[in-house]
A and B are shown apart, each in its own frame.
Chain A
Amino acid sequence: MVHWSAEEKQLIAGIWGKVSVEQCGAEALARLLIVYPWTQRFFSDFGNLSSPTAIISNPKVRAHGKKVLTSFGEAIKNLDNLKGTYSKLSELHCDKLHVDPENFRLLGDILVIVLAAHFGKDFTPDCQAAWQKLVRVVAHALARKYH
């Protein structure tokens, strides 16, 4: 089981409390599709992904980004039971969605950059460390039920 120090929990909660899930989620997913265009392979039914502008304004991208980041919120409420929290989602991503877990790592790194851009100097090295740990652990939990 992952151990979280009180400081790490505080750093995570402190940032999360000020995050617009809708905005950050949309931005993170859009950037994933722009920076790593091969990730578009999972979203062939999302319509126009032909340019960065199209991706950023695509309503399905925005909606799905919000969905994904909302799920992150669940993780943050259940830091001591991420395996349990993501068990069903892990099965879903393996059995139905067929998503290579590497994509969770890519999205996690992008999310950290989006947070860094929003919070500037407040996104201190210690903050970054806590959040990189969180995204790494979430990615691991999502990959756990793969077979």
Chain B
Amino acid sequence: MVLSAGDKSNVKNVFAKIGGQAEEYGADALERMFVTYPQTKTYFPHFDLAKGSAQVKGHGKKVAAALVEAVNNIDDLAGALSKLSDLHAQKLRVDPVNFKLLGQCFLVVVATRNPSLLTPEVHASLDKFLCAVGTVLTAKYR
């Protein structure tokens, strides 16, 4: 699946509009993921996952920062996410299905916080982008 020029432009626009709130979006997406898909909690036995957890907020910030970095290097996702790709393959080994779950939650967060931003076309572009990120992060798994 290839990101068109239009997709890249849509995604960049979304993240420009989200701006400094990206961290909140990240934390919100993670919280929703843990509540909606409890099996995802199995990757965080060392975390306090209660509502409002500082660890979840902190991790949401990390996830958001990675997405922002990906957007800023959208022409070379593999390059931009190479280190994270290694990390997920060698250490974290999060099953690939979970990236779709987090992606769904991120889309829901954008929808709840910025519905006018998520036109059908932007929805499509953002979904493609999140899929592409998941693909890169799992690319070195085997």
Contact = CB atoms under 8 A, between A and B. Distances in A.
A123 B108 contact: yes
Interface residues of A, number: 23
Contacts of B124: 34-35, 52
Contact of A35 (B108, B112, B120): B120
Interface stretch (B29-37, B65-73, B82-90): B29-37
Interface secondary structure of A, over-half rule? helix
Interface residues of B, number: 20
A67 interface: no
Nearest to B100: A109
Interface secondary structure of B, over-half rule? helix
Nearest to A37: B124
B123 interface: yes
Interface stretch (A70-78, A79-87, A90-98, A113-121): A113-121
Contacts of B111: 113-114, 116-117, 123
Interface in B91-117: 104-105, 107-108, 111-113, 115
Interface of B: 31-32, 35-37, 104-105, 107-108, 111-113, 115, 118-121, 123-124, 127
Interface of A: 30-31, 34-35, 52, 55-56, 109, 112-114, 116-121, 123, 125-126, 128-129, 132
